[in-house]
Amino acid sequence: MGWKGVVELVVMGLTAAGELVKGILQRTGHLNEADPWLTLGMVGVQYLGRALTAEDNDTLKELLTRSPIDLWAEAGDIETENALIRQRQLERIGDRD
């Protein structure tokens, strides 16, 4: 068998391996070519997944996936200070007169 035969064998081998990987991905539910949502899912992965899959940044993933219900419950109250600022701003006008 000459070098062309070797190349052909390699190509066939890689094709078979590619099909095998594709089959495994389909079987495990990671790939469904008929599913239009795969494209959308990958768009989401492309954007948010870039941050979510950062191997060296588990903290980021943890923070990005925190429940808004917890986040809002922990949010600080600024309304008392806000009322004081408004009052000072109005009083300052009177001082100028």
Partner 1 sequence: MKSITLNLLIALVLILFSGIGGFVGCNQNTVEPHEIAISLASVPSQVCIAINNERNGILEQNGNALHEQAVREEWTSEREAQAVLELHQQDDILRSIVSPRYNNADGELVEGRCRIVTEYLARVAVGVESFEDLQTDGWERAVSDLLALVNELFDVLRDLGIVDLADWLNERVQIGEAGLGDLLRDVLRFAEQVLERAE
Please choose, from the candidates 64, 42, 40, the residue with its C-alpha nearest in 3D space to the C-alpha of residue 52.
Answer: 64
* CA–CA distance, 39 with 31 (Å, rounded to integer): 10
Shortest Å distance, C-beta 1 to partner 1: 14
Residue among 1 and 59 whose Cβ is closer to partner 1: 59
* CA–CA distance, 10 with 29 (Å, rounded to integer): 28
Interacting residues with partner 1 (CB under 8 A): 4, 7-8, 10-11, 14-15, 17-18, 21-22, 25, 29-31, 35-38, 40-54, 57, 59-61, 63-69, 71-72, 75-79, 81-82, 85-86, 89-90, 92-94, 96-97
